């Protein structure tokens, strides 16, 4: 694909050996233009089925990250160094603004959770009344104390207060909220360095070193990607890539791809097992690699990629 210089470079964060993309617009661009789907592995705090509701960030394979850097579409940013330098560059006013926004987000989430809990409680009461299982508690004598358990410890009382995240000097310096004069209870949210996330920081726009996957494997990926195939990790099928003729949301995969060096040995058991596995899951097993290097050719000359497809005959 041609180098798209009209679009700013995508920032790929290098975190603990993984190459991550956080911007949803960049992810959409990579999928539609560069046929890169990646792997979502972000989790949602309140989702029970984490394997279904995975979200940002998106992890790219080393081959995908290197291709984007080679094509000058993206740059690699060392996340730990960039995060540290960006935090040092923030002024106290910037930090206070970020923490105030963070508190506002937490307040909204708390209010939403409280409303949902109250709705569930009211629905449970209505169901109990409809089924005749609802029992009214006897009235207490005047002056008798009422425990928090009886009032419903899971639900905040009417005197509980959520303070606007506007902050103030004390909020900015300590992250705590003082009790108001009327004595109502307020929430205290401790401030930690993790409160400032990647989306709050202005990361330096300077490229870093690209990943360095094995050359034969990278050339095979680059060759198939140039033909329009979508590639995803193939670990669950015992291969390196699973190749799709179009977007995986619309098409079934066609090939289980395994790259080899020219002089790399391949046992007959691997050959038979790969062919049987590919045919068993309605795919072809593809062996691919660089052609034998020509001793007289220039070292800078790019070698061609050769592919072979194996299907197991006799399956019913």
pLDDT digits (tens, 9 = 90+) for 184-233: 444 444 444 445 555 545 555 555 567 888 888 999 999 999 999 999 99
CA separation for the pair 288, 222 (Å, rounded): 12
In a domain, 139, yes or no: no
Q: What domain range is 312 assigned to?
A: 214-316
Q: Is pTM beyond 0.75 here?
A: no
Q: Check 252, 254, 282, 295 and give the catalytic one.
A: 252
55 lies in the same domain as 116? no
Mark whether 177 and 162 lie in a shared domain: yes
Q: Does residue 267 lie in a domain region?
A: yes
Confidence of residue 31 (pLDDT cuts 50, 70, 90): very high
SS3 call for 307: strand
In a domain, 242, yes or no: yes
**Catalytic annotation present for 252:** yes
Active site residue 244: yes
Number of structural domains found in the chain? 3
Helix segments in the chain, DSSP class H: 24-34, 62-70, 79-89, 92-131, 148-151, 169-174, 215-226, 268-280
User: Cα dist. 295→13, 24, 260, 304 in Å?
Assistant: 39, 46, 20, 14
Cis amide bond preceding 86, omega within 30: no
Tell me, yes or no, whether 43 and 26 share the same domain. Answer: yes
Tell me: do 30 and 115 sit in the same domain.
Answer: no
Question: Does residue 170 sit in the same domain as residue 263?
Answer: no
Say whether both 98 and 181 belong to one domain.
Answer: yes
Residue 147 has pLDDT above 60, yes or no: no
Specify whether 268 is located in the same domain as 281. yes
Which residues have CB under 8 Å from 293's CB, separation 6+? 262, 303
Whether residue 37 sits in one domain with residue 69: yes
| 81 and 209 assigned to the same domain | yes
- Kindly state whether residues 170 and 242 are assigned to the same domain: no
* Residues 84 and 168 both lie in one domain: no
State the Cα angle at 178 between 172 and 184, rounded to 5°: 140
Q: Which residues pair with 21 in a beta bridge?
A: 58
* Candidate list 102, 244, 254, 258, residue with the active-site label: 244
CA 50 remoteness from chain centre: 12
pLDDT digits (tens, 9 = 90+) for 47-64: 767 777 788 899 999 999
Token pair belonging to 312 = 């197991």
Q: Tell me the CA distances in angstroms from 31 to 57, 231, 245, 306, one per residue in order.
A: 14, 11, 14, 26
């Amino acid at each position: 694909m041609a180098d798209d210089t009209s679009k700013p470079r995508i920032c790929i964060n290098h975190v603990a050996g993984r190459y991550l993309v956080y911007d949803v617009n960049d992810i959409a661009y990579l999928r539609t233009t560069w046929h890169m789907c990646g792997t979502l592995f972000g989790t949602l705090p309140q989702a029970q089925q984490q394997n279904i509701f995975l979200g940002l960030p998106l992890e790219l394979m080393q081959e995908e990250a290197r291709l984007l850097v080679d094509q000058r579409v993206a740059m690699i940013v060392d996340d730990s160094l960039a995060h540290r330098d960006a935090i040092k560059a923030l002024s106290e006013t910037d930090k206070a603004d970020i923490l105030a926004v963070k508190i506002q987000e937490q307040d909204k989430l708390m209010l939403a959770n409280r409303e949902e809990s109250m709705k569930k409680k009211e629905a449970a009461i209505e169901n109990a009344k409809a089924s005749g299982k609802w029992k009214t508690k006897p009235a207490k004598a005047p002056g008798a104390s009422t425990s928090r358990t009886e009032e419903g410890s899971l639900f905040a009382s009417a005197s509980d207060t959520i303070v606007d995240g506007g902050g103030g000097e004390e909020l900015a310096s300590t992250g705590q909220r003082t009790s108001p004069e009327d004595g109502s209870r307020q929430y205290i949210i401790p401030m930690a360095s993790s409160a400032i996330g990647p989306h709050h920081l202005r990361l330096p726009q300077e490229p870093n070193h690209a990943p360095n996957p094995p050359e034969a494997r990278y050339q095979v990926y680059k060759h198939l990607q140039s033909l329009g195939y979508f590639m995803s990790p193939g670990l669950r099928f015992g291969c390196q890539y699973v190749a799709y003729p179009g977007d995986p949301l619309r098409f079934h995969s066609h090939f289980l791809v395994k790259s080899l060096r020219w002089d790399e040995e391949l046992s007959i058991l691997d050959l038979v097992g790969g062919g049987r596995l590919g045919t068993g899951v309605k795919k072809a097993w593809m062996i691919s690699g660089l052609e034998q290097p020509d001793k007289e050719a220039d070292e800078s000359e790019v070698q061609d990629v050769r592919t072979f497809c194996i299907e197991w005959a006799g399956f019913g």
